Homo-oligomer: A and B are copies of this chain.
Amino acid sequence: MDLLKKRIMKESDIVSDKILNVDSILNQQVDPKLMMQLGHEFAKRFANEQIDKILTIEASGISVASAVAHELGVPLVFARRKRPLTGEDVLVERVPSFTKGIVTDIVVSKRFLTSGERVLVIDDIIANGDAVRGLIKIIERAEAELVGFGVVIEKSFQAGGDSLRKRGIRVEPLVQIKSLENGQIILD
């Protein structure tokens, strides 16, 4: 994804050695054409898999996950960060958030993940991987099947991506960031 690499090099800001601000590309402003291109790329990479559903987590994952769902013609489910007021049966996992510095619940209503469904998880960024591990636990508890994890940006200097690979999970990052040290973005 040279296009994405160029956008990251041009538009992102290094906040610290660990945090890159990609608000103008993914986290607050999105270019719908780029999203469709990312969706197309994920669809291509997982073309050999049967996929019944896309799962992501609010909020920044929704735009790219919508594009993947559109490309594959399957429903998108997004986990919420709050329990619903509607009192329905939910699957809940408690996870810390690296960028937000807080612990939150992630919640999916039971009726949206059913036994045997083949689920592709999509997200915008992986750092330590806490959110995606929470989503995977929810998939397991629903007795659905995890196809893999597609992520726009993997911060490969943090442990999240590799912790999934070690468990045999297929991880497909579109871009890997190797380092943000000394005010420089080093891509893999």
A residues apposed to B, CB below 8 Å: 13, 15, 19, 21, 23-24, 28-33, 35-36, 58-59, 62-63, 66-67, 69-70, 73-78, 80-82, 84-88, 99-101, 108-109, 111-112
16 further contact pairs, Cβ within 8 A, besides A24-B112, A32-B66? A21-B86, A23-B84, A28-B80, A29-B75, A30-B69, A30-B78, A32-B69, A32-B75, A32-B76, A33-B70, A33-B73, A35-B66, A58-B59, A62-B62, A62-B66, A85-B101
Minimum CB–CB distance for A185 against chain B, Å:
15
A2 CB, min distance to chain B CBs, angstroms: 21
* Tally of this chain's copies: 2
The prevalent SS among residues of A at the interface is: mixed
Taking a contact as CB atoms under 8 Å apart, the answer to whether A30 and B86 are in contact is no
B29 touches A70 (CB 8 A): no
Residues of B within 8 A of A109 (CB): 23, 28
8 nearest A-B pairs in the assembled complex, by CB-CB distance: A58-B59, A32-B70, A59-B59, A32-B69, A62-B62, A21-B86, A15-B86, A29-B77
Q: How far is the CB of A53 from chain B (nearest CB, A)?
A: 9
Residue of B nearest to A87 (CB): B15
Could you tell me the distance between the alpha carbons of A63 and B87 in the complex, rounded to whole angstroms?
Answer: 24
**Cβ contacts under 8 Å, A24 to chain B:** 111-112
